[in-house]
Structure 1
Amino acid sequence: MQLFNIYDKKLLKEKLMNETFKRITISFYRYVIIDQPHQLRDELYAEWAALNVFGRTYLAQEGINAQMSVPEHHWDEFMLRLQARKYFENMPIKRAVEDDGKSFYKLKVKVRNKIVADGLDDGTFDVTNVGRHLTAREFNEALADPNTIVVDMRNHYESEIGHFENAICPDVDTFKEELPAVEDMLKGKEDKKLLLYCTGGIRCEKASAYFKHKGFKDVNQLHGGIIDYARQIEAEGLENKFKGKNFVFDERLGESISGEIISECHQCGAPCDTHTNCANDDCHLLFIQCEACATKMDGCCTDECKTIANLPMEEQRALRKGKLKTDAHSVYKSRLRPNLKNLRNQKV
């Protein structure tokens, strides 16, 4: 059996849209020592492919980080097989808040050095000495404490469309950048109650251990992240302290938590929380774009990208092989990537 995908994106998406059954979008993670991650990778790929499971899973010697969609009619078998493995016994599963079953269109299982890129040397501190896990009710109560500092441990494009009230939302592109940035922002506040949150909890697992190592005395994290917070407040009738949409790393790019739109289109400033990737294949900048601007700009972030995206495919390919290929770094890194911040502050 082949242990990788051989079909193109367009065909896979068409097949997904034509499915007549329902899918369940889930996520889970666990820090656990995996002796042979490459062997486990092949076993999981074969097992999940047979069940028609889609999604993205990262394995490392330190554990697993998975987001996927499971056919509803295979759900029981999927869970039975997952829980039967010693590494994943009693695995907490988080279900998507808004789920149309179209979150993933293919299966990817990859082995990496870490399940989350954090840039840390784990040998320098105890990664198992994590912060206190809080339920949604406990998290709400802690938010009311004036001695509390709440920090969003996600990237700027995630917190821009949704975050907790009064949260510190660092303007960073990666989790690796965020850890030292937050540490610097909180210097001298090591005695404060620290509340951390992220999408599903995995980044806070590592961050809480890191901040305890750095001398913070009262470190807490939202157990299950924003995803499980949304489930708990609905199930228990709690007040929702999260405003806006929760960014997710699949085809949906977001799920509404409060029904509010707290962000703006990066191009015209209209209320909008819809992320998209620039239609220029040589850019693919992730930004917020309303329907009107999507039509006006043909799904692109700048006029330069619009011009390139509307060229015949043969000319686009020629550009990649010639001038565009050699100039790509100077054009896209100096002009287009920083353009996201320009788009926020200076509408085009």
Structure 2
Amino acid sequence: MPGPDDVSIRNLTQSPVPYKVLAFYKFADLDDCETLRPELAQFCCGRKIRGTFILAPEGINGTVAGTPDAIDALLDYLYGGAFGTRLAGAEAKVSWSETMPFLRMKVRIKPEIVTLRAPEANPARQVGTYVEPEDWNALIGAGDVTLIDTRNDYEAAIGTFEGAIDPQTKNFTEFKDYVATHLDPAKQKKVAMFCTGGIRCEKASSYLLAQGFEEVFHLKGGILKYLEVTPEAESRFNGECFVFDERVAVTHGLAQGEARLCRACRNPMPSTRACGAIG
């Protein structure tokens, strides 16, 4: 059974580049991961799809690439097949790549699809208010909002929203420490958060609600959706958005950016600046 946004995803204007890149996640009850894993891997490998899916009892998360027909078939499988209707309404975003951005296909089982190690954070039970990309500028332009980039420091270094706080985390589990030392429900009455595709923010917003914050907002679809639908002239995102594949970064319209990975530290860096790890 297709998800509500499936038709629009399929009917995107065909790009002249050959590979369709699908970013997909959903918090859902998947207590049969051991059964799902080989079936999903076989489906993808049989269609020469590459990338990574993570399965966990709390849901599914991954980014993969393949021919347009292969990715469309995968969407049919995810919205039905062994998953039944559990992935209906999943967050799915499509972009394009001139070359295959992944080396192989991997399906892994982990305790969490995004690691926070905070059992009280349960997006399936409670989550912050979703903000559509079209409404994001108005929200973050208000003077009473604390805007937080929930990504890692190396991601924020090449691009972020105007006025956003970078917690300087090395991994998502450190976000809990940042909240404990820098945020207070009595002082930060209204908090807005964003991340690459939306998944970290769902968990971060659930965590803040569990800590007593009441007005918690997050960008629906993440930076990727914002860059896809927001005209560059109206955008409040500066720089490029790091992505975890061979493209390294994307910019407005989800065009491939100019950032590259440093050979020494493997972190992204703007094309105009040398990394401090080199000499």
Letter paired with 2:105: L
What does residue 79 of structure 2 align with?
83
Aligned-pair distance for 1:217? 1.5
Give the corresponding residue for 1:276: 262
Return closer, same or farther for 1:195/1:51 CA change in 2, 3 Å cut-off.
Answer: same
Task: Quote the residue 2:93 is aligned against.
Answer: 94
**Counterpart position of 2:138:** 141
Question: CA contact under 8 A between 1:102 and 1:252: conserved in structure 2?
Answer: no
Residues 253-297 of structure 1, C-alpha deviation per residue, up to 9 Å, x if partnerless?
1112399xxxxxxxxxxxx8422343xxxxx5435375896xxxx
Instruction: Give SS of 1:220's match.
Output: strand
Question: 1:246-285 maps to which residues of 2 (within 5 A)?
Answer: 246-257=241-252, 273-278=259-264, 285=266
SS at match of 2:240: strand
Runs ≥4 residues deviating over 4 A: 188-191, 289-293
Which letter does structure 2 place at the counterpart of 1:94?
Answer: K
2:267 aligned partner: 286
Q: What secondary structure, in the 3-state scheme, does the structure 1 residue paired with 2:230 have? A: helix
Using structure 2 for the length normalisation, give the TM-score.
0.83
CA distance in structure 2 between the partners assigned to 1:248 and 1:140 by the alignment:
22
The residue number in structure 2 matching 1:114 is: 112
- Answer yes or no: is 1:66 the counterpart of 2:62: yes
Question: Which protein, 1 or 2, shows the higher relative CO under an 8 Å CA cutoff with sep ≥ 6?
Answer: 2
| Structure 1, 127-136 or 147-156: larger mean CA deviation | 127-136
Task: Please give the root-mean-square deviation of Cα atoms over the aligned residues, in Å.
Answer: 2.6
Aligned to 1:104, the other structure's residue is in SS state: coil
More divergent stretch after superposition (199-208 vs 98-107):
98-107
C-alpha change, 1:126 and 1:46, in structure 2 (3 Å) is closer
Judged with a 3 Å threshold, the aligned counterparts in structure 2 of structure 1 residues 38 and 238 are, in CA distance, closer, same or farther, namely farther
Q: What is the rounded CA distance, in whole Å, between the counterparts of 2:169 and 2:44 in structure 1?
A: 34
Query: Aligned-pair distance for 1:104?
Result: 1.1
Unaligned runs of 5+ in 1: 1-19, 260-271, 279-283, 294-300, 302-342
**Residue 34 and residue 166 in structure 1: after superposition, are their counterparts in 2 closer, same or farther (change >3 A)?**
same
Match of 2:170 among 152, 169, 173: 173
Distance 1:111 1:231 in 2: 30
Comparing both structures, which one devotes a greater share of its residues to helix? 1
TM-score normalized by the length of structure 1: 0.68
Contact 1:244 1:258 in 2 (8 A): no
- Asked if structure 1 preserves the Cα contact closer than 8 Å seen for 2:158 and 2:270, the reply is no
1:89-110: CA deviation from partner (whole Å, max 9, x where unpaired): 34331123x6324221210100
Change (3 A) 1:240 1:90: same
1:1-348 pair list within 5 angstroms: 22-84=18-80, 85-86=83-84, 87-96=86-95, 99-120=97-118, 122=119, 124=120, 126-127=122-123, 128-187=125-184, 189-234=186-231, 239-257=234-252, 273-278=259-264, 285-286=266-267, 288=269, 343=276, 348=279
**CA pair 174-191 structure 1, distance change in 2 beyond 3 A:** closer
1:84-135 Cα deviation digits (max 9, x unpaired): 1322234331123x63242212101000111111121x1x465421100001
Q: Are the counterparts in 2 of residues 162 and 246 from structure 1 also a CA contact under 8 Å?
A: yes
For structure 2, the 5+ residue unaligned runs are 1-15
Aligned length: 257
Distance 1:38 1:187, change over 3 A: same
Structure with greater strand share of residues: 2
**Equivalents in 1 of 2:193, 2:135: separation in Å?**
13
The one-letter code matched in structure 2 to 1:114 is E
Deviation at 1:79, TM superposition (A): 2.0
